[in-house]
Amino acid sequence: MDLAGQVALVTGSGRGIGRAIALALADHGANLVINDVVAESAKVVAAETEELGREAMAVAADVTDEAAVQEMIDSVLDRFGRIDILVNNAGITRDALLIRMSEEQWDAVLSINLKAAFLCTKAVARLMLKARSGRIINIASVVGLTGNAGQANYSASKGGLVALTKTTAQELGSRGITCNAVAPGFIETEMTEALPDEAREQMLRRVPLGRAGHTTDVANVAVFLAGPAASYITGQVITVDGGMVM
């Protein structure tokens, strides 16, 4: 699990699962690029990363904008000269029943959850192809595998991310680049804390282990996929859901 000297870019890492992944990668030796649309959140996590003895930079780039993504990549190259690990984690929800969902709700979720991953992967893949190595990890969701009432946009975006993962793995594998997805289930985050008690209880009843997961549960799998022990794993979707989806 030694990632010493490697550089990891984690999108949407100012809080929640993204923050946990960034700190876990740092804990295993990686230097970090903390990306978040909220600049102050990115700076806080970058400071936490530096407290672990790693180098870190905070970048408040809009990852749905191709020019902004390229500017971010250029700034990372100026600072570190490389990107070894990309974690596409940025994501939002805008829940509504399909017949009540607005075009704006659909577009916002697909843009941040799927388009951003495409843009970041495209930009970073060019660097990894030259280096003939790299790890790309997409944070999907179990609802991308099963669907979920009230989340047509979110489940579609995460299902698309699974398909993007498999295609990327096929296109880049011959150059030593792996691409895998992690599909969390019911994880304790600010997003899930906002759910009504009835909705939380309903979700927990579907989990054989009987509890919600922690952000560190997802982060541990991401670290494994980023490390040398996962060098022969690509195009896979690993669920971290307490058995919710089997």
Give the residue numbers annotated as catalytic, written as ranges: 154
Give the residue from 194, 161, 159, 31 showing the smallest Cα distance to 90. 161
Determine how many CB atoms are found less than 10 A away from the CB of residue 99. 6
Cβ atoms 46, 23 nearer than 8 A: no
Three-state secondary-structure class, residue 194? coil
CA distances to 27, 57, 129 from 77, rounded to whole Å, are 22, 12, 15
Give the residue from 45, 47, 42, 55 showing the smallest Cα distance to 3. 55
Cβ atoms 144, 183 nearer than 8 A: yes
CA distances to 62, 65, 144 from 69, rounded to whole Å, are 7, 6, 25
b/e code 183-210 from CB counts within 10 Å (16+ = b): bbbbbebeebeeeeeeebeebeeebeee
